[in-house]
């Protein structure tokens, strides 16, 4: 789960990492009030779930509260990579002398969080990794210990941080590792770690991604979930407990099992269609889940037809068929549905579908071709 | 022969008294698996599906001489269950549980590696060896003994492809669903190495998907193998940055794309099926 | 540092360990009010830093708020092993079916906290350890991991806890270990862990001893320090930063280095005297520390004379002599002081002492004999 | 010869820029110790008492080939400093710091043991080998080279007894203050075993005190030794349950009494001095 910069900084501050004082504002007036409260020049930063907001104009400055309001007026409502800016972080402007990078990312290969540290801060670390990998020091964390202070010190020293900021940087890195582990993070990044002209070392920007699987015990962070402007349906699906990803085609797709659904998307694409979504109903779904999934997928206005692909194991064919039939009544009139059922209860399910006059495919390929053809026919008004 | 599961395998089920645990214990026994006991703390002394329940894995192992475990423990306690099994000396651990926090898995893997155990999963359907039984939730009836070693990151997709193989008259030696999480106990390369040594297995089918670089690593390993491998990769239409169901199925930047995996496999001389329907034919060609 | 049961239970509760609701009372009226608030029969428990309060009558019951007041009246002010009861814990009475023991203690030999668990709860664990050691399961904690849930479960299972309480007991034990480690404890004990007739498992009593060396980072617990009734001087010494132990003789003893001071006590005893205290001024002490130490030791009304034994290394003899001379003016008139100085600055120090007319010993034995003799002379009025 | 410190020993000082660190570095160098560098994070590049300061032990070791470290780091960071030294491959670590939380020491000892390092202390005056120098804060001028190996839990008491020995014309091979904390890196038995193998050492004097059972363990070891041992135990008048200055000097129940230790040592055939003044004579008897 992505969280905003201001939320990431709240977590960092909780672990003792210095950040500029600041607050989030939803209106220019709030931004002005916060700037007045801070009593110093501020920076207004768009809070959106994408990178590159600086280049897009999502970071602006205000030396006075009035200027802060004006800057917030420009930034709020701005479109950044398809996302509308609905809130800004109003925070003290700092005078940065040098920028460094501290990051921790879950690494599949070492099966551990890996610390990444570089003196090349303030820029995209993936770019650094690609062009000048020697500028990044990487080290997996021994999860029995966490990152011990002397290890953090050794890492920033090896990364070539200047001697005078080693102690502070190491303390921040060790705290970042603690925050990562205790917050169930997949990624925790301070970029840049700023060394200011007045000799402070602080997290000028922070990014944390929380492991969805950890949310059950990260109760505070779980409440931070919010709809991504660009994908309101995905947010609602998550709230409804559905594993749904919005895509930009017109063929709604529902199946059981992530790999099967992904393969179904590929198959539909192969048949000349464009998948509108990914929806995995998981194992052992009952008719209600099928019903909910179909009606949910149909809420996407781009969807012109729906393919249901079920390989029954724990999931029973009759239940799937019942759910589809229940849902059909509520779907837009004439919207094509093709169901493919095999495995447990497939015979019974197909019988039910037949009675309800629903189309079915004999296998994934057949079903994919049928739904693509059906949508094409509907489009032509046939 | 086969890999991992054979007639010496004695299985316990951790979380046996839960709904899932009980249901699949019944199925495993029906498939011929030698399920010798179960574990649920504070439920010791009960009997489930005819097998005794113990409070700890250590007790179960002492009483039954179990050497394998199948875990149906909910996410909050599943990594602890893995550590318990490995610490008790269980050598084959199959963890079905989906949704384990990844931080927990980073810790559990330290113990699994230290104890020299093999972990299949988590977030996997388990494995089966036709003729000997299964550990996990794979539908056993779709299998036939035969020469194909099967490895997949997915559950139902596995059943689809196995059904196609069986329908085409091609049987399987051992089938493993390796799990859809970013951190899993064993990867394609680990199982490929076991199949390479297994006399029954003549060809290996691996079904990969987007995310991570296990397929690329497998491709490297395949270059050292004598046995042919046939592959399939799903998620060609998946966009970057989206988690496609499996926690591990996500393209990050340029890493983990289906195209990258297909290219790596092809570079290792592996025929990669365009659709799953092409798999039986590709297998027949190399058998 | 010892803490009271109610404070220990606050810590346990913070780690999710079930305890009875309750509050501490300083007066019978407070006890009555708490009992009324709890709305059920209560137990009144003396809060003193010693064991065996039950046998001493320090635990009494009250079925009504009025009875609670009466019970508190009896317990407050009671003397238990030399300590006056100044506060009581008023807590819900529980109906205990079985009692168990959970403890964690720092073990020097394994250099780790060791978990000790027994079904023989409610009684002194040292007695169990002596008479029926087979009833105690012991296991050191791997400090890289802490006590993991499955390990806690394995321990309570091996200890023979009944199956139905294994899960809860293991969770409590794992939480106790976490509390131990994170609180910088030397000892953390739940005795008894009660299994009540209504099926609850809870900590009916709790004892925690905090490592003095950890107090700098256990800021909340550090504020819990309070004078032990029997040893107000020790409490004050700690506040003043002096390493002081009150004993029951009449020879005040000050030295540098714990081993040296202990040996000096032994030597004074050998010379026929009885040490009044242990006071280690540590390394490199200046005249002010010496002055403070002498005047502090003299505050003990039992003290009839003072022996100062310094082996100078970083500590300089002149500084010691200056401190003694400064202090002398404020000590009771005629109180004998014998100073023994050797090592760095001993010559200079002795010269100063001589000028001030103070007695000195050529070595530890000589000085010990001199102070004992001097006190004897003073006693006889010579 | 001697133990632990000889002419191959290259010492760094962790916490060299602090008041204590700097002062004792000067004294160590004056005693002839080969101090090759110091470590204080964020003070790298400075020079203290003529030796270079580094930011980390790893850097110091790489630059100076140090094999021993003397730690003057404050309590909050001292255990970390021990782990840093051990992890960097330093084989002899002397930790002077008093007041380290015991929980920190339980962790540090895991690393010390894993890395095969020898830790003296913490909460100790360090050690010296007359003729080669010292690591720590022991006043070097009271020593003379000779046949007595000296081990003590105390600081100033050590100086007292060594002065008595030197005054009686008896010199020392190596002298070690093992530390007054409940958890220390090495115990009497560890050092006895080194002295047993050291050709220079003819007799060992050990000064114990109340608390713990290291003296009892030493007594067991002494039964296996060929060299004579003379002992002294302080704290005969100490009451139970009171911490006598040293965090480790506390009698718990019946454990850790002076009488128990004296009895155990006597049972192992060790002459135990009644007062420290009897020690030189006892040593002369067995020399």
pLDDT tens digit sequence for A271-312: 999 999 999 998 888 899 999 999 999 999 999 999 999 998
Catalytic residue among A6, A100, A101, A195: A101
For residue C20, name the pLDDT band (cuts at 50, 70, 90).
Answer: very high
Listed by start position, the domains of chain A span 21-92, 96-222, 232-379
Q: D60-99 as b/e, with b when 16 or more CB fall inside 10 Å?
A: bbeebebbbbbbbbebebbbbbbbbbbbbebbbbbbbbbb
Distance of CA B212 to the CA centre of its chain: 17
Q: Is A369 a catalytic residue?
A: no
Chain A positions touching B101 (Cβ under 8 A) are: 184, 211, 213-214, 217
Q: Is B104 on the interface with C (CB under 8 A)?
A: no
Interchain contact, D44 vs A166, CB within 8 Å = yes
Gap from A167 CA to chain D (nearest CA, Å): 6
pLDDT of A229: 54
For residue C238, name the pLDDT band (cuts at 50, 70, 90).
Answer: confident
Q: Is A144 on the interface with C (CB under 8 A)?
A: yes
Nearest CA in chain D to C269: D237
C103 touches C59 (CB < 8 A): no
Interchain contact, A145 vs C145, CB within 8 Å = no
pLDDT of A166: 97
pLDDT tens digit sequence for A51-108: 888 888 999 999 999 999 999 999 999 998 888 899 999 999 999 999 999 999 999 9
In angstroms, the CA D191 to CA D71 distance is: 20
Interchain contact, C157 vs B56, CB within 8 Å = yes
Q: Which of C185, C213, C262 sits opposite D249 (nearest CB)?
A: C262
For residue A120, name the pLDDT band (cuts at 50, 70, 90).
Answer: very high
Interface test mutation site (partner D, options C235, C248, C263, max chain D beta carbons within 10 A): C263
Gap from A143 CA to chain C (nearest CA, Å): 9
Q: Is the whole-model pTM more than 0.90?
A: yes
* Range with the poorest average pLDDT among A18-22, B94-98, C125-129, D81-85: C125-129
Identify each DSSP E strand in chain D by its residue range: 11-14, 35-39, 47-48, 51-54, 68-71, 92-95, 118-120, 126-129, 133-136, 145-152, 172-177, 203-209, 229-234
Q: Is D137 on the interface with C (CB under 8 A)?
A: yes
For residue C228, name the pLDDT band (cuts at 50, 70, 90).
Answer: low
- The answer for residues whose C-beta is within 8 angstroms of residue C101's C-beta and 6 or more apart is C116, C117, C118, C119, C120, C121, C122, C125, C128, C136, C189, C190, C191, C192, C193
> In degrees to the nearest 10, what's the CA dihedral of C177, C180, C181, C185?
-150
Q: Is C217 on the interface with A (CB under 8 A)?
A: no
B partners (3+ CB pairs within 8 A) are A, C
Nearest CA in chain C to A146: C144
pLDDT of C382: 64
Gap from A92 CA to chain B (nearest CA, Å): 32
pLDDT tens digit sequence for C252-279: 999 999 999 999 999 999 999 999 999 9
Gap from C150 CA to chain B (nearest CA, Å): 6
pLDDT of C125: 84
Q: Which one-letter DSSP state was computed for residue C19?
A: B
Q: What is the mean pLDDT of chain C?
A: 93
Q: Which of A148, A163, A165 sits opposite D83 (nearest CB)?
A: A148
Gap from A140 CA to chain B (nearest CA, Å): 11
Domains of chain D in start order, with CATH, are 11-120 (3.40.50.720), 143-286 (3.40.50.261)
**Is the per-residue pLDDT at A382 higher than 80?**
no
pLDDT of A240: 86
Catalytic residue among C6, C100, C101, C195: C101
Interchain contact, C263 vs D155, CB within 8 Å = no
pLDDT of A195: 97
CATH code, residues A232-379: 3.40.50.261
Helix axes C166-182, C149-158, angle to 10 degrees: 120
Decide: helix, strand or coil at residue B193: helix
**Is the per-residue pLDDT at D148 higher than 70?**
yes
pLDDT tens digit sequence for A199-256: 999 999 999 999 999 999 999 999 998 866 557 888 888 888 889 999 999 999 999 9
In angstroms, the CA A132 to CA A146 distance is: 28
pLDDT tens digit sequence for C24-70: 999 999 999 999 999 999 999 999 988 888 888 999 999 999 999 99
In angstroms, the CA A337 to CA A323 distance is: 12
pLDDT tens digit sequence for B89-138: 999 999 999 999 999 999 999 999 999 999 999 999 999 999 999 999 99
pLDDT of C336: 93
Q: Are strands D35-39 and D11-14 parallel, antiparallel or unpaired?
A: parallel
In angstroms, the CA A39 to CA A47 distance is: 22
pLDDT tens digit sequence for C152-193: 999 999 999 999 999 999 999 999 999 999 999 999 999 999
Which among D97, D90, D122 is positioned nearest to D10, based on CA atoms? D90
Print the SS3 string covering chain A: CECCHHHHHHHHHHCCCCECCEEEECCHHHHHHHHHHHCCCEEEEECCCCCCCCCCCCEEEECCHHHHHHHHHHHCCCEECCEECCCEEEEECCCEEEEEEEEEEEECCCCEEEEEEECCCCCCHHHHHHHCHHHEEEEECCCCCCCCHHHHHHHHHHCCCCHHHHHHHHHHHHHHHHHHHHCCEEEEEEEEEEEECCCCEEECCEEEEECHHHCCCCHHHHCCCCCCCCCHHHHHHHHCCCEEEECCCCEEEEECCHHHHHHHHHHHHHCCCCECEEEECCCCCCHHHHHHHHHHHHCCCCCCEEEEEEEECCCCHHHHHHHHHHHHCCCCCCCCEEEEEEECCHHHHHHHHHHCCCEECCCHHHHHHHHHHHHHHHHCCC
Count of CB atoms within 10 A of residue B284's CB? Answer: 14
Q: What is the mean pLDDT of chain A?
A: 93
D243 touches D236 (CB < 8 A): no
Q: What percent of chain C has pLDDT over 70?
A: 99
Dihedral angle sign, alpha carbons of residues D111, D115, D116, D117: negative
Burial of A161 (0-12, 13-18, 19+ CB in 10 A): buried
Q: Is B246 a catalytic residue?
A: yes
* Range with the poorest average pLDDT among A203-212, C230-239, D53-62, D264-273: C230-239
The reply to whether A280 sits in an annotated binding site is no
Sheet with D229-234: strands ordered across: D133-136, D126-129, D172-177, D145-152, D203-209, D229-234
Interchain contact, B158 vs A255, CB within 8 Å = no
Q: Which one-letter DSSP state was computed for residue C275?
A: B
What kind of fold does domain A96-222 have according to CATH?
A: D-amino Acid Aminotransferase; Chain A, domain 1 (3.30.470)
pLDDT of C189: 96
- Range C21-92: architecture per CATH: 2-Layer Sandwich (3.30)
Chain D positions touching A157 (Cβ under 8 A) are: 44, 55-56, 58-59
| Mean of pLDDT values over B71-98 | 97
Helix axes C258-270, C364-379, angle to 10 degrees: 50
pLDDT tens digit sequence for B17-73: 999 999 999 999 999 999 999 999 999 999 999 999 999 999 999 999 999 999 999
pLDDT of C380: 81
Catalytic residue among C5, C189, C318, C369: C189
Q: What is the DSSP string of D229-265?
A: EEEEEE-TTPPTT---SSTT---BTTBT-HHHHHHHH
pLDDT tens digit sequence for B197-213: 999 999 999 999 999 99
| Mean of pLDDT values over C368-379 | 92
Cα-trace Rg, chain C: 26
For residue C359, name the pLDDT band (cuts at 50, 70, 90).
Answer: confident
pLDDT tens digit sequence for B151-180: 999 989 999 999 999 999 999 999 999 999
Catalytic residue among B162, B246, B256, B262: B246
For residue D1, name the pLDDT band (cuts at 50, 70, 90).
Answer: low
Cis peptide before A344 (omega within 30 of 0): no
Q: Which of D142, D182, D243 sits opposite C106 (nearest CB)?
A: D182
pLDDT of B3: 87
């Amino acid at each position: 789960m992505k969280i905003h910069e201001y939320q990431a900084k709240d977590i960092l501050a909780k672990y003792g990492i210095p950040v500029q004082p600041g607050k989030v504002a939803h209106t220019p007036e709030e931004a002005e009030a916060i700037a007045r409260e801070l009593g110093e020049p501020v920076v207004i930063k768009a809070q959106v779930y994408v990178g590159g907001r600086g280049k897009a104009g999502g970071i602006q400055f205000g030396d006075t509260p009035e200027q802060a309001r004006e800057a917030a007026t420009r930034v709020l409502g701005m479109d950044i990579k398809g996302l509308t800016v609905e809130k800004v972080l109003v925070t003290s402007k700092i005078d940065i002398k040098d920028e460094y990078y501290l990051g921790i990312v879950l690494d599949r290969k070492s099966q551990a969080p890996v610390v990444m540290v570089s003196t090349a801060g303030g820029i995209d670390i993936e770019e650094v990794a690609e062009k000048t990998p020697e500028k990044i020091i990487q080290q997996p964390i021994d999860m029995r210990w966490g990152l011990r202070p002397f290890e953090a010190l050794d890492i920033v020293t090896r990364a070539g941080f200047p001697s005078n900021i080693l102690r502070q940087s190491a303390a921040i890195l060790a705290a970042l590792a603690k925050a990562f582990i205790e917050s169930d993070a997949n990624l925790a990044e301070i970029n840049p770690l700023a060394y200011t002209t007045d000799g402070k070392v602080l997290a000028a920007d922070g990014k944390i991604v929380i492991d969805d699987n950890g949310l059950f015990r990260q109760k505070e962070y779980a409440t931070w979930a919010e709809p991504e402007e660009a994908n309101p349906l995905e947010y609602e699906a998550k709230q409804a407990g559905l594993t749904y990803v919005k895509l930009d085609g017109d063929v709604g797709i529902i199946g059981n099992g992530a790999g099967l659904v992904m393969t179904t998307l590929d198959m539909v694409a192969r048949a000349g269609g464009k998948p509108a979504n990914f929806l995995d109903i998981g194992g052992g779904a009952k008719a209600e889940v099928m019903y909910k999934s179909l009606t949910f997928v149909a809420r996407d206005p781009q969807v012109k037809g729906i393919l249901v692909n079920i390989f029954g194991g724990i999931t029973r064919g009759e239940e799937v068929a019942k759910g589809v039939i229940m849902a059909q009544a509520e779907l837009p009139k004439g919207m094509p549905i093709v169901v493919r059922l095999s495995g447990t209860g497939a015979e019974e399910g197909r019988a039910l579908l037949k009675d309800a006059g629903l189309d079915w495919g004999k296998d994934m390929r057949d079903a994919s071709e049928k739904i693509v053809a059906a949508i094409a026919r509907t489009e032509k008004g046939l | 022969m086969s890999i991992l599961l054979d007639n010496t395998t004695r299985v316990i089920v951790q979380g046996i008294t839960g709904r899932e645990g009980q249901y699949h214990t019944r199925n495993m026994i029906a498939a011929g698996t030698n399920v010798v006991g179960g574990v649920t703390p504070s439920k010791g002394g009960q009997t489930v599906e005819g097998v005794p329940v113990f409070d700890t894995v250590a007790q179960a192992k002492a009483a039954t001489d179990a050497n394998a475990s199948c875990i149906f423990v909910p996410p909050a306690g599943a990594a602890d269950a893995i550590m318990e099994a490995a610490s008790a000396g269980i050598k084959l651990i199959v963890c079905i549980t989906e949704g384990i926090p990844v931080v927990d898995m980073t810790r559990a893997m330290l113990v699994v590696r230290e104890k020299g155990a093999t972990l299949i999963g988590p977030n996997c359907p388990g494995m089966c060896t036709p003729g000997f039984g299964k550990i996990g939730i794979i539908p056993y009836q779709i299998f036939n003994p035969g020469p194909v070693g099967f490895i997949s990151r997915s559950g139902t997709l596995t059943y689809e492809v196995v059904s196609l193989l069986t329908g085409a008259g091609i049987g399987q030696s051992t089938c493993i669903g390796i799990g859809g999480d970013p951190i899993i106990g064993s990867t394609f390369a680990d199982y490929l190495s076991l199949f390479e040594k297994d006399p029954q297995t003549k060809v290996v089918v691996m079904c990969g998907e987007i995310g991570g670089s296990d397929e690329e690593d497998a491709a490297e390993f395949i270059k050292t193998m004598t046995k042919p491998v046939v592959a399939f990769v799903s998620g060609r239409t998946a966009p970057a940055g989206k988690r496609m169901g499996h926690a591990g199925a996500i393209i990050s930047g340029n890493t983990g794309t289906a195209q990258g995996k297909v290219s790596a496999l092809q570079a290792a001389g592996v025929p990669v099926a365009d659709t799953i329907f092409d798999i039986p034919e590709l297998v027949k060609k190399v058998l």
